[in-house]
Structure 1
């Protein structure tokens, strides 16, 4: 069984109780499933939960190269030349990322309001990026954009492989039986 879940901001990717935040258990009342990969509490978007250990491993292990697509709203207005470093892989100190596919996009039309809203400064523009990577290390996208001087203000995982957020409202899940 596979469950697609659109994780809201502030939700922790665990089923055990958390003192300060809602968890997956507050949204998904199905026993015996586990997240295949995680999203930070301050990130939003697609989480896949499954009871299939092999599928869970294929999503989380970079050797399978399952691509993940993120929408990142960054502070500032990067030029294509700024993004080239990410396209070639960037050294984050503890590891060098694999090359990312990255492009500047318009704000996604199907985007929900975030609660709380991001902080925006009137004198500094923001830009939306679509970033595709096959890794998924801790806070990787945020670290990548920060490394090139454009901190991520909002991060949404839109897709994992062929699975997407299309027709999946915030805080909702759907079961996929294949």
Structure 2
């Protein structure tokens, strides 16, 4: 069994096959026969796990396992406590209602690398950082959640999956590391 952690850069698509206009995982990961355990859209960045083990891939990606994924979202505006409570209790996105999650403010993260290209800056509209810890991972879920409560996401970084954290792994954008072989359930305790 192989398990790799990648800090997926902004603009990279979550596939190994080449793309006409964007970088793909093949530009960053040279290990053969591993596949992403879950996805991050091309506009999102951060921790992505790749494995050659189907059971582990399912354990990481499938919502029924309730594995916590932590995101830092820089949102447009200043969400009030009611907006955070709405996020935490579940948001009706039209096609489904999100599961309850943890949502809270965080300080502007000093440990975070600059994004290339940087997000747009608007002097008249403040930007706020929040953290969401969700157990799902549907298509563009965090972006849709913050937009639904009136605070569109400007930048989205996945900083943790289960007990793994991108900063403790020491990964900069484009860096990957092979994690020690282990039982499929080790290192993925709920947090």
4+ aligned runs moved over 4 Å, structure 1: none
Deviations 1:19-50 (A, max 9, x none): 00110101111101000001000000000000
- Structure 1: state its 5+ residue gaps: none
Alignment of 1:171 with 2:174, yes or no, is yes
Q: Aligned ranges for residues 1-178 of structure 1 at < 5 Å?
A: 1-166=2-167, 167-177=170-180, 178=182
For residues 127 and 21 of structure 2, what CA distance do their matches in structure 1 show?
A: 29
For residues 168 and 17 of structure 1, what CA distance do their matches in structure 2 show?
A: 24
Deviations 1:119-158 (A, max 9, x none): 1210110000010000000000000000000000000000
Deviations 1:88-144 (A, max 9, x none): 111000000001100000011111111111012101100000100000000000000
Matched length: 178
Give SS of 2:112's match: coil
For residues 116 and 173 of structure 2, what CA distance do their matches in structure 1 show?
A: 11
Shift of 1:14: 0.5
Shift of 1:171: 0.8
Shift of 1:164: 1.3
Give SS of 1:39's match: coil
Which residue does 2:189 correspond to in 1? none
Deviations 1:36-81 (A, max 9, x none): 0010000000000001100100111111000000000000001111
Give SS of 2:111's match: coil
Give SS of 1:143's match: helix
- Structure 2: state its 5+ residue gaps: 183-191
Structure 1 length-normalised TM: 0.98
Shift of 1:170: 1.3
For residues 123 and 178 of structure 2, what CA distance do their matches in structure 1 show?
A: 42
Give SS of 1:74's match: strand
